[in-house]
Amino acid sequence: MIKAMYVHIPFCNNICSYCDFPKIYYQEDLIDKYLDTLNYELEKVYKKEMIDTIYIGGGTPSSLSLNQTIKLFEILKKVNKSKNIEFTIEANFDSITEKKLDLYKKYGINRISFGLETTCNKHLNFLNRTLSKKKVKQVIDYTKKQGIKNINIDLMYGMPKEKVDELEKDLDFILSLDITHISTYSLIIEEHTKLFINNIENIDEDLDYKMYEVIRKKLKENKFYQYEISNFSKKGYESRHNLTYWNNEEYYGIGLGASSYINNKRITNTRSINKYLEKKFIYTEEKLTIDDKCIYEMILGLRKIKGIKKEEFFKKYNCHIEEKFDIMNLKDKKLLEENNGYICIPQDKLYIQNEILLSFVGGSSNGKRK
Amino acid sequence: MQEFIRNFCIIAHIDHGKSTLADRILEKTNALDKRQMKDQLLDSMDIERERGITIKLNTVELTYNYKGQDYFLNLIDTPGHVDFSYEVSRSLAASEGALLVVDASQGIEAQTLANLYLALDNNLTIIPVINKIDLPNADVEKVTEELINLGFDKEDIVLTSAKTGQGVEKLLEKIIKIIPSPKGDSKKPLKALIFDSIFDPYKGIITSIRVVDGEIRNKDIILMMQTNAFYEVLSLSINTPKEKEVDVLKTGQVGYLYASIKSIEDVKVGDTITHKDNKCDKALLGYKPMKPTVYSGIYPIESNKFEDLRESLEKLKLNDAALTFEPETSTALGFGFRCGFLGLLHMEIIQERLEREFGIEIIATSPSVIYKVELTNGTTTLVDSPNKMPDKVKIKKTLEPYVKISIFSPKEYIGPIMELCQNKRGSFLNMDYLDEKRVTINYEMPLAEIVYDFFDKLKSYTKGYASFDYEVTDYKESSLVKMDILLNGEIVDALSLIVHKDFAYNRGKAIVAKLKEIIPRQLFEVPIQASIGSKIIARADIKAMRKNVLAKCYGGDVSRKKKLLEKQKAGKKKMKMLGSVEVPSEAFLSILKADEK
């Protein structure tokens, strides 16, 4: 039973130097066509299930004009929403307005995820972003006034030459906003981005790790608890939508470059706007065997701090997690641990979790496709 | 026919235009039309074309009409590098003449001289050729003088530009006029020299032969005099440079022989072929086999490729008699071979050919020379691998091979070169000015120092202007010790090496630093240590891995994360597990490039 839906809005008024998500410069006439196509795709794939979480991501969804925003929400009216729905939209502080926030409220948005990334001008320039702290405060105040209390802020760290005290200042500022959720990860230099083309190098991994620990410590002191490798929240404010991913559950993904997991298939949509408008949606499709699903369960489930519930694993795959993977060996090496029926990555190994996840992929011993 | 045959080879320093000149000769003799020409036609191996050098010799028969008479010119290409002088001597033995090609802008180089003396030893008629006269910095006058100093007559010198083709016709004329036709007696029983053999994936073993006396025909039953193996000739051919089958090879001719030879062992380069039922009186002298001077361990990365590696080495040995190998075992690397090479370039070429032509991924350990160790019980043992070094208490004294090295360089680099040689335990012998700009500097130094990283250093100290040549002189007593490298507290036998006691500390430090650079961080901190006996002389620590995570959530695109992990996993499979440490294969040779500060 599918309970989650991701909707991608690729338009941006400004392209950040590190971004490798499907994105397009804002073009008035293109947006109408895009939304019509989105509508078509939704009608085609959506099987009228009751949906529990919707996440409108981008790009920059808040770059849409008021009318375009209304059009988007009208399209999404087709979706059967559960009473308790978590309905998130991404926004940035440059393009958001009180009127847009009013519309969000009107159409049932109850969670907003703001991209802030950094407050330091030097690093903002590097990321090709702008930010006014004053506006941030105003927007957050207004959002809360509107009754939207569940607010996430994205923080980025690990920009070249960033200092630990600059990161701490960012954290202090974000904490002063009194929000419910913080997502954070260090700068990744992806291929096909401006940064990659300019040969920007990653910061030293010791410093990167140190910054991660600074964040963990400071957020913990401020009653944000970490529930996933890069996500922190106040009690009860975990992103239910993102947990769908980490719990290896199925979800719809519609829009340019969106990913979905439907009927045992992992599908990625095309990143080409022309193809998308021609309604040639699908780019890749991976049909999963039970073994594949088990691998995904490990890769995704171990992102959660709590880890994977053994009982749940057995229920889902009808075999014990220890039969499928060499958990014992990893436990002996202190690369995994078991707490109250959950298998998880030890706190001090969180930041090297890929190294541990490698034991589950691409070899013959892990029961991958035969 | 015999009197119209000319067998000749070309000797030259690397990059003096030998292969290009060969190309032009092919063109002038209309062996190929322009359309079929590709550069360095005789260099048939990819490595040869890429590196711009010739490794294996290659022959071609050309027809040239001079004053109404067709002449058959057999051009035998030769390698220019010091490591391949064995191959050179093979082609010299199959020729009556040699073109001595000298670059008009560079002058005579060390290796050219060495090969010239080889050619003179073989009683060849030499035609001096000054090539690249089209270059703006060509100094024909100076090079002419150098050649005159070597005893050539000014009027015998031919000026060419292989690039433009200038002078090539004149050269062909000279070849016909000066180089004698092959001697030999066509009436005598067959006597032919095997001067090369190659393994062809379709046909099997093909040998290059030079008929000295008599003639050889299809269907003849032939005998290899050294190995006593006999075969029926299945086909004979010449290279024009397209392969052309012929019924007979006559006295003085050079060509290929194919005889469905089953055992690689039966064919020995240098052996004499005769008729089984009409033997010649005695075999040709053949070649003095070259002795390897450098040894290195070669191991397959995947241990199940051991037999494939053996087969590939056997095939390489077929036309590379100087290559030797025998099985050896390493705790770290498993089963492999201890291989002997003529020098460093030879070693690199073999390693590259194994990977390219035979598709076997290998790990090569750092090269070692052959040490002589006198034991307390009065016996002497030869040590070609650090791990064969006897226990310290049993050693009376150790000796290592020394070479006389001649370095040719513009004079402004004398200082840096001397500094380099001193650092390499060299002792200065003498220095000569070749002319007002260039010098030859002679040093005596341990061969092991040249094997180490001498070539790269010399190039960087002299901006690539200097070249060098060396010959092994003798063994000298030396204070040598075996140095071990420990990873995470365990000795890695494949990384051990023999060093001079006084240099051990610096080298240990450099190697440890280099390994730290090459071995990626692991889950735990890994100490790298260099030790002599039980004494640790250097240490560096690979820090524990701090970050390997994909923290970003790509809007539910989790296939991407799986792909990334699969890619990382594939990378890991290329590493070798040494104990609990993952080591990239290049680490084993990298200790050669460790820079001592």
Asked if B303 contacts B346 with a C-beta cutoff of 8 angstroms, the reply is no
DSSP E strands: which ranges in B132-225? Answer: 158-159, 191-200, 204-213, 216-217, 221-224
User: DSSP characters for A100-152?
Assistant: HHHHHHHTT--EEEEEEE---HHHHHHTT----HHHHHHHHHHHHHTT--EEE
pLDDT digits (tens, 9 = 90+) for A18-70: 998 888 898 888 999 999 999 999 999 999 999 999 999 999 999 999 999 99
Asked if B348 contacts B55 with a C-beta cutoff of 8 angstroms, the reply is no
pLDDT digits (tens, 9 = 90+) for A108-122: 999 999 999 999 999
Tokens 């040093």 correspond to what residue? B443
| C-beta atoms of A362 and B551 within 8 A | no
Residues of A within 8 A of B553 (CB-CB) are 183, 230, 242, 245
Name the CATH superfamily for B2-178.
Answer: P-loop containing nucleotide triphosphate hydrolases (3.40.50.300)
Kindly indicate the confidence band of residue B339, based on its pLDDT and cuts at 50, 70 and 90. Answer: very high
pLDDT digits (tens, 9 = 90+) for A164-175: 999 999 999 999
Whole-number Å distance between alpha carbons of B594 and B513: 8
**In this complex, is the C-beta atom of A251 within 8 Å of any C-beta atom belonging to chain B?**
yes
| C-beta atoms of B556 and A230 within 8 A | no
**In this complex, is the C-beta atom of A285 within 8 Å of any C-beta atom belonging to chain B?**
no
pLDDT digits (tens, 9 = 90+) for B314-326: 888 876 777 889 9
Sign of CA dihedral B501, B502, B508, B514: negative
| C-beta atoms of B562 and A358 within 8 A | no
> For testing the chain B interface, which of A192, A293, A354 should be mutated: the one with the most B CBs within 10 Å?
A354
The domain ranges of chain A are 4-245, 308-370
* Residue of higher predicted confidence among B83 and A231: A231
Residues of A within 8 A of B523 (CB-CB) are 335, 352, 355
**In this complex, is the C-beta atom of B541 within 8 Å of any C-beta atom belonging to chain A?**
no
The minimum CA-CA distance between B575 and chain A, rounded to whole Å, is 14
Out of A14-28, B1-15, B59-73, B516-530, which region has the weakest mean confidence (pLDDT)? Answer: B1-15
On the CB side of B155, how many CA atoms lie within 13 Å of its CA? Answer: 1
CATH number 3.20.20.70 is the correct assignment for the domain at A4-245: yes
Name the CATH superfamily for B191-275.
Answer: Translation factors (2.40.30.10)
User: pLDDT value at position B80?
Assistant: 47
In B, minimum Cα distance to A208 occurs at B547
| C-beta atoms of A358 and B568 within 8 A | yes
Residue A22: asked if its preceding bond is cis (omega within 30°), the reply is no
**In this complex, is the C-beta atom of B577 within 8 Å of any C-beta atom belonging to chain A?**
no
Kindly indicate the confidence band of residue B33, based on its pLDDT and cuts at 50, 70 and 90. Answer: low
Pairing of strands A252-254, A4-9: parallel
* Residue of higher predicted confidence among B538 and B451: B538
Equal CATH topology for B294-364 and B481-590: yes
> At residue A324, does pLDDT exceed 60?
yes
**In this complex, is the C-beta atom of B559 within 8 Å of any C-beta atom belonging to chain A?**
yes
| C-beta atoms of B566 and A361 within 8 A | yes
Tokens 């202190």 correspond to what residue? A334
> At residue A260, does pLDDT exceed 70?
yes
**In this complex, is the C-beta atom of A291 within 8 Å of any C-beta atom belonging to chain B?**
no
* Residue of higher predicted confidence among A100 and B288: A100
Run of H or E including B480: strand B480-487
Asked if B173 contacts B286 with a C-beta cutoff of 8 angstroms, the reply is no
Q: pTM for the full model?
A: 0.70
**In this complex, is the C-beta atom of B568 within 8 Å of any C-beta atom belonging to chain A?**
yes
> At residue A365, does pLDDT exceed 60?
no
Q: What is the mean pLDDT of residues B6-33?
A: 76
Kindly indicate the confidence band of residue B79, based on its pLDDT and cuts at 50, 70 and 90. Answer: low
**In this complex, is the C-beta atom of A113 within 8 Å of any C-beta atom belonging to chain B?**
no
pLDDT above 90 covers a percentage of chain B that reads 35
User: pLDDT value at position B579?
Assistant: 82
Q: Give the C-alpha distances (Å, rounded to integers) separating B528 from B364, B534, B580, B596.
A: 20, 14, 13, 17
pLDDT digits (tens, 9 = 90+) for A295-314: 999 999 999 999 999 999 99
Neighbours of B138 (CB within 10 A): 19
> At residue B274, does pLDDT exceed 90?
yes
Whole-number Å distance between alpha carbons of A14 and A63: 10
Q: What is the mean pLDDT of residues B104-124?
A: 77
User: DSSP characters for B259-285?
Assistant: -----GGG--TT-EEEESSS--SS---
Whole-number Å distance between alpha carbons of A189 and A19: 9
Token pair listed for A11: 């338009």
Task: Return the CATH fold of B294-364.
Answer: Alpha-Beta Plaits (3.30.70)
Q: Tell which residue, B476, B341, B343, has the closest CA to residue B402.
A: B476
Q: Give the C-alpha distances (Å, rounded to integers) separating A268 from A22, A281, B232, B250.
A: 12, 9, 65, 71
Residues of A within 8 A of B562 (CB-CB) are 295-296, 299, 361
pLDDT digits (tens, 9 = 90+) for B231-270: 999 999 888 777 788 999 999 998 889 888 877 778 877 7
CATH classification of B481-590, choosing from 3.30.70.2570, 1.10.10.10, 3.40.50.720, 3.40.50.1240? 3.30.70.2570
Out of A132-141, B4-13, B49-58, B94-103, which region has the weakest mean confidence (pLDDT)? Answer: B49-58
Q: What is the ipTM of this complex?
A: 0.90
**In this complex, is the C-beta atom of B556 within 8 Å of any C-beta atom belonging to chain A?**
yes
Out of A149-158, B85-94, B210-219, which region has the weakest mean confidence (pLDDT)? Answer: B85-94
| C-beta atoms of B572 and A260 within 8 A | no
CATH classification of B371-478, choosing from 3.30.43.10, 3.30.460.10, 3.20.20.70, 3.30.70.240? 3.30.70.240
Asked if B337 contacts B331 with a C-beta cutoff of 8 angstroms, the reply is no
How many residue pairs from chains A and B have C-beta atoms closer than 8 A? 102
Q: What is the mean pLDDT of residues B526-553?
A: 92
